[in-house]
Structure 1
Amino acid sequence: MSFTRFQSFQKYTRYVLSAILLLVIMASGCRNTSFIQPGDTLEVAYEKALALYEDEKWDEAAGAFSAVLTLGRGSIVAQDAQFYLAEANYKNKRYLVAASEYERFTLLYPDSPRRETADLNIARCYYELSPRYKLDQTYTVQAIENFNIFLSRYPSSEYREEAIASIDALREKLAQKIYSAADFYRRTQRYEAAVLTYGEVIDQYPETAWAEQSLVEQMESYILYADNSVSDRQRERYQKALDVYDTYLQLFPRGESRTRIEELFDEAEAAIASFSSNTSTASR
């Protein structure tokens, strides 16, 4: 390459690089104007925050609405800013933060027409935070409580069915957690703890899918408990198994586990009959 051509190439390269740099600066400048700047009025700051929200830039929108609230907590735009702050966090799946911001909204603006949405979304946040059944269920309980509050406050809401279905799903999870604990006790031969814990499922969550199976496992656990008890306590515990059978027939007369429960009934009844036979023989 000649020296002249090399100089021309250098000038062209500098021109291209300068053009690229200018475009970057211009783009950066355009981008920056969409964010709140020092000196922006409260109204301008709010409009910028709303534009970010409408562009689904949830992180930036949440930060912008926080800035708006810092600038004018008691202003005319504060109510909308507080609501959109909660909404931006909710849509960004920051559920714990969103729940807190919705709660703040309901405390500050209890008569707002958006109160129903805020109350519903508080419950939805805790629903989303509810973990799988093996983990701590604090958020599950909070979700149920908030859905119940929602149903009490808005009995004719168009979201009534959603709230009921959500409560049902959450209660299934709580029932499964207790059932899992009872099953663990049974498998580790802690039969007394097992029958009591299966009883919790039946007493607290009778409408769930875990109630019928809990009755079956409770009856089997009573039989195993009796089998492994001292002779003076066996008859009493076999009888408790038969009591569970009666409860099963009352709650699930056409239950899917009817065949199994009948087998357990025969086993417990035969064990009690053997006691009667032994007692009769001993008295002769």
Structure 2
Amino acid sequence: MKRLTITTLLAVAILSGCSSTEEVVPDVPPAELYVTAQQALQSGSWTTAIERLETLDSRYPFGAYSEQVQLDLIYAYYKNDDLALGEATIARFNRLNPAHEKSDWVLYMRGLTQMAQDRSFMHDIFSIDRHDRDPEPARKAFRDFKRLLDRYPNSQYAADAKARMIFIKNRLADYDLATVDFYIRREAWIAAINRSQQIQKLYPDTQAARKSLPLMLTAYEKLGLQEPIENTKKLIALNPVN
């Protein structure tokens, strides 16, 4: 029954993605088209908003609404999980508007877009915690949020960016911890020690750093290194796992 439920769910998701037909956007003045795009954005009708905004962007690339259309597309693409299109639009906007007054928001949205790429449809549907997957999008998001804090410390998005950096830091530490566990199971003791030390250096205030200590102790014990064994036992006593 569970297999049937999952199969049915996936089939519905695939069919719903394939069943939509592209709507022909009427040839109306840009102001009217922009109003309908804004109405779609405000109602959360992301697909409709994207259709209207893309039409504006293609028909009037240098019109009065061009900059705002691109900003709206960045947001709509993010909300609609069109992350590659969002990233491309951000790159285009930055290239054309290197000193725009909303550059902090664009940088913030790039971080959000990168962060969203660190998950997948399957993980969301089944609430799967795959902290061992490639964290490169998370690293990029971390860099963007850090860049936001460095460049625009007074931005209204700074506080949220800082909170997200804490979340991402734990995500990256958990990835490294999964790697340590992999090395331990493969009896790659030196590699396990090196990666554990990396966690403790880069992410000292995370649970992963504390959890890496017993794994590092195991590696030292397997290698028969008495002094590191004693030092690691002291660190474990000072840094218990909560």
TM-score range, shorter chain: 0.7 to 0.9
Please point out which of 20, 39, 46 is paired with 1:58: 46
Greater helix fraction, Structure 1 or Structure 2: 1
Deviations 1:93-141 (A, max 9, x none): 3233223223322332334333222221111111122133211111111
- The one-letter code sitting in structure 2 at the alignment partner of 1:152 is D
Q: Residue in 2 aligned with 1:96?
A: 84
Q: Give the superposition deviation at 1:197.
A: 2.1
* Structure having the higher Rg: 1
Corresponding residue for residue 148 of structure 2: 150
What is the percentage of aligned positions where both structures have the same residue? Answer: 20
Offset, 1:35: 6.6
What amino acid sits opposite 2:71 in the alignment? Answer: F
How does 1:209-248 map onto structure 2 within 5 Å?
209-226=207-224, 237-245=225-233, 248=235
C-alpha root-mean-square deviation of aligned residues, in Å?
Answer: 2.4
Question: What 5-or-longer segments of structure 1 have no aligned partner?
Answer: 1-33, 227-236, 258-284
TM-score, scaled to structure 1: 0.66
Q: What is the alpha-carbon distance in structure 1 between the residues aligned to residue 156 and residue 37 of structure 2?
A: 30
Asked if the contact 2:114–2:141 (Cα under 8 Å) also holds between the matched residues in 1, the reply is: yes
Q: Which runs of no fewer than 5 residues in structure 2 stay unpaired?
A: 1-22, 120-129
CA distance in 2, matches of 1:64, 1:122: 22
Partner of 1:72: 60
One of 229, 239, 255 as aligned partner of 2:239 = 255
- Out of 196, 199, 209, the residue aligned to residue 197 of structure 2 is 199
Distance 2:112 2:48 in 1: 23
Secondary structure, counterpart of 2:100 in structure 1: coil
Q: 1:72 to 1:141 in 2, by over 3 A?
A: same
Q: Secondary structure at the match of 1:113?
A: coil
Give the Cα–Cα distance (whole angstroms) in 1 for the partners of residues 87 and 160 of structure 2: 18
1:54/1:243 CA distance change after superposition, 3 Å: closer
Higher relative contact order (CA closer than 8 Å, sequence separation 6+): 2
Alpha carbons 1:36, 1:48 under 8 Å: kept? no
Is contact 2:105-2:157 (8 Å) kept? no
